[in-house]
Structure 1
């Protein structure tokens, strides 16, 4: 009889704990829901990596409960990089924007890279043309 009563109390305690954990996650998610993480990526002939990068950022957004905005600057790709990016533009939790990297955009991007050390600039700038550039993206090694 006592053993049954202890099992009932344990089940009740587990249910109370579960309700508190779920409520804490709900409160945290509603506070983080407005948080946006911005990535600016420079690509050139990266058809083998670009889909994995977008999918990894989508997984990051899903697991951390944030919105991810990604701007791809493409420097005259001769492969299927742009076609892959346009196909992935409907990926959930990730806003994709694809732009060509011409001379005027290069100057603007260099200026943004210099000013990216400021706290009010929340963007993460990654040049994928550099061999170790993709290592700064979550879930990409």
Structure 2
């Protein structure tokens, strides 16, 4: 989910809260109770999305620290996350990883490992992205 999507969930919760009457007759108590439960559920969903938003960043920080590297191929990242069973929610593939990290200004880049070029993620900024280190500082 993007920050805009999280904001939409929060806005929906606010709309539901605003629908409550402030001096309800007895027959409106059930209405206000239902609205209160709905707004809390929407807020909870927004909070879950927000936590999930940084979970992959946190997992990548641990992974890059573990291997003491400034770059990792996407396939290696996915393999390690799967091995450690730390990918949140639905299965993580290269597209989902890219979408999740794009929200933080991080994009996959092509770099060399030995003689072969590969696509993956780096901790340092490039012309096209901020680098994982900047995202870690800002969001963790």
- Rg (Cα) greater in structure: 1
TM-score (norm. length: structure 1): 0.28
- Greater relative contact order (Cα < 8 A, sep 6+): 1
Q: Which structure shows the bigger proportion of residues in strand conformation?
A: 1
